Structure 1
Amino acid sequence: MSISIERKVVGLAEVDHRIGNNLASLSGVIRLQRNAISKSGKNLSTEQVCMLLDDVTARIEVMAKLHKSLALGVNGDGVNLGDFLQEISELIGTLGPEGRMDLTVDNCCEGCIDPRHALHIGLITAEMLTNASKYAHPTGLPVKVHIRCETNGDGSFMVEVTDDGVGFPENFDPSTDGGLGFQLMRALANGLSAELQFEHDSLGVCGRLVRRKHLAS
């Protein structure tokens, strides 16, 4: 076997290993959601069940996008964060009601991230986008969402999702409050050794995921 073919085989085996680990992580996320629903003891309406299935669909699609990125990057360059977030934003935009979300993605983020971090970043971003689609404008007006990201060679990164909605409810603390979606984001951020920050007022919400240099491994 030639060296180039051998490297390709090793690269594909590493991709399969990472995908297997990420599928296990995704299964854990869905299981957490299932347990939370079971413990609540509430009967769900048809609309609520559809929303839950949409959430599961989005997470599976994020996994599929990551699989594609890993398969195309078997040379070990990692996952291009800007491209990955662009695909995720387009995906979430198609899942909600047509015309409800006006998305823009900062195209200056061309750096790559460790594939081990990509799924968590993608799921957190998808959750922020889903929340903006559902809650930013209760009256049904289209929501404008802007995504910005930064990467550094030391393993640190930043992802920011900003909307022009009505903001969080009064006295809502995103660091402790919220339903399963916020619980998942906090748990995923913790798994990244990253900070999950929110700024909000009556003009919108800015969610920010930050992994700093001194936290990077």
Structure 2
Amino acid sequence: MLQLLSEFLDAPNSSEADHRIANHLSLIASLLRLQTKTLAGSQTFSREDAVWLLNDCSRRVDTVARVHRLLAAQSEQNGWIDVREYLREIAEGIVESTSGDGKYTLKSDCEIGCLVQADHVASLGLLIGELITNAIKYAHPAGVPGVITLSCSRAPDNSSIVTISDDGVGLPEGFDPATSGNLGFRTIRSLTQRLQGEADFDSSCLGLSVTVRFPTPKESSTVIEFGRMTKS
């Protein structure tokens, strides 16, 4: 992590790097404080919960690190990011490290043109991480193998759409993710707001699908796509 910070601060636009690193570290700290408050009131905190907590911390730091590795390689850091490969890498890493024994298979269908403003890439990465982690924890309580699907695309109205789906048991009857005090769903709502987006939850006995829609540029803008710049 220290090497990453050093490399990023040596980038041509170091003042922008300073600002972005500070914002992203503050974001992680805010999420951890929210998690700490929730766990402090728990009467059933177990060793397994502690392992999940530490894995969550590691995942969030790694997600932000991926953002800065991407931006550090660019001479332009203020445009829009095509997050197709970024999201796929995050999803693969979480499934491989968290599901254990290959219980979950990841399917990915991401199109070119799923754009996010540079300052919001970390929020999207953390949001996708939260959705996938929730699916791994809750989709199949009986422990049977499952499938998680990631898709991202550009909508006709020029917004970007990212969807995480599983083939599990769905949400409990009467459960409202828009108002739930559950830590995971509070985190999902908070990160969605940071993207200035909206989240739609479609739950059935065939699984849960969460679709996040957020605005993208309507005019020609600089787009960063893993090592090269284009015009949208």
Name the amino acid aligned to 1:207: V
Q: Which has the higher helix share?
A: 1
The Cα of 1:45 is off from its aligned counterpart by 1.1
2:56 is aligned with 1:72:
no
Percent identity for Structure 1 against Structure 2: 33
Q: Does the aligned pair in 2 maintain the 1:196–1:208 contact within 8 Å?
A: yes
The Cα of 1:11 is off from its aligned counterpart by 3.0
**1:41/1:134 Cα in 2 relative to 1: closer, same or farther (>3 Å)?**
closer
2:53 is aligned with 1:52:
yes
Matches of 1:41 and 1:146, distance apart in 2: 32
Q: Give unpaired runs (5+ residues) of structure 2.
A: 1-9, 218-232
Higher relative contact order (CA 8 A, sep 6+): 2
2:120 is aligned with 1:101:
no
Alignment TM-score, normalising by the size of structure 2? 0.80
Q: Does the aligned pair in 1 maintain the 2:114–2:152 contact within 8 Å?
A: no
Please name the residue that 2:13 is paired with.
11
CA shift digits 1:139-169 (9 cap, x unpaired): 21221111111247x9732110111111111
3-state DSSP class of the match of 2:161? strand
Please name the residue that 1:4 is paired with.
none
2:38 is aligned with 1:24:
no
Please name the residue that 2:197 is paired with.
194
Q: Give unpaired runs (5+ residues) of structure 1.
A: 1-7
Matches of 1:109 and 1:163, distance apart in 2: 23
The range that moved more, 42-51 or 107-116, is 107-116
3-state DSSP class of the match of 1:42? coil
**How large is the RMSD of aligned CA atoms in angstroms?**
2.4
Name the amino acid aligned to 1:17: H
The count of residues paired between Structure 1 and Structure 2 equals 206
The Cα of 1:66 is off from its aligned counterpart by 1.1
Name the amino acid aligned to 1:198: F
CA shift digits 1:169-215 (9 cap, x unpaired): 1111111125111101111112222111100100011001112479x
